[in-house]
Structure 1
């Protein structure tokens, strides 16, 4: 059995704890982190457009990429330490939601956390990338709250009568 755990800043401890609780001991656990191309791409573009034609060695986008890679490694290391069992660490870059769906292909379970408005129950408790992954995952999904969930009294009101 393969269990993919999507590791993101801010919600990863809940995902790792859920994997520890729900993945069989003999399961292959894959800790997945995806870095989007947006921030380094913006830095590259700003430098090329405004400052650095012909001076590639001064491009701040390269430094931003290195910092993002180091941050991803530290996050995966912390997640692996918390998991406290053998696992595979997988770093990908690209459109986050598509990379997560692709990484989950062939897995028996994908663990991810709500990353939207966590003050109330409802569809806004998931951001766009998480919603995409939940809607398109090629395997069962375990969706966890990164902290205790809000009460049922926070449910949005039912839709009005049809017109």
Structure 2
């Protein structure tokens, strides 16, 4: 049975995307979270710099933190420049945090950031997913399905 598509958020400018996450994990639920940034971090992100390839989120003391995300130092920053790989606090509602905490603790799920983007109001947001890891045979099945869809579209284009 096909999984329902997650709701789309108002993404005006995508800064960083974790494309590997959709391959490595089954995405169950997607949340939009605000992110606490300093001024030079916002400037770096506006220039399109930043990476969330190896990052993850964790729940500590009823707060959610984005760990191991890389926002490089701002080139024109002075002594007030930020630390590139510091943990960043994510802004979510208490009910969402409780749901995430329960899923991670009881069901063995993982909090994976899918993308960092600026919304219509110019605020930096993180698309955060509750995900379950795929096994090797699940990944092979995903590759087969993707190749078949590619071949199917190729055949339809040829015989149109």
TM-score by length of 2: 0.24
Task: Write 1 or 2 for the structure with the bigger share of strand.
Answer: 2
TM-score by length of 1: 0.24
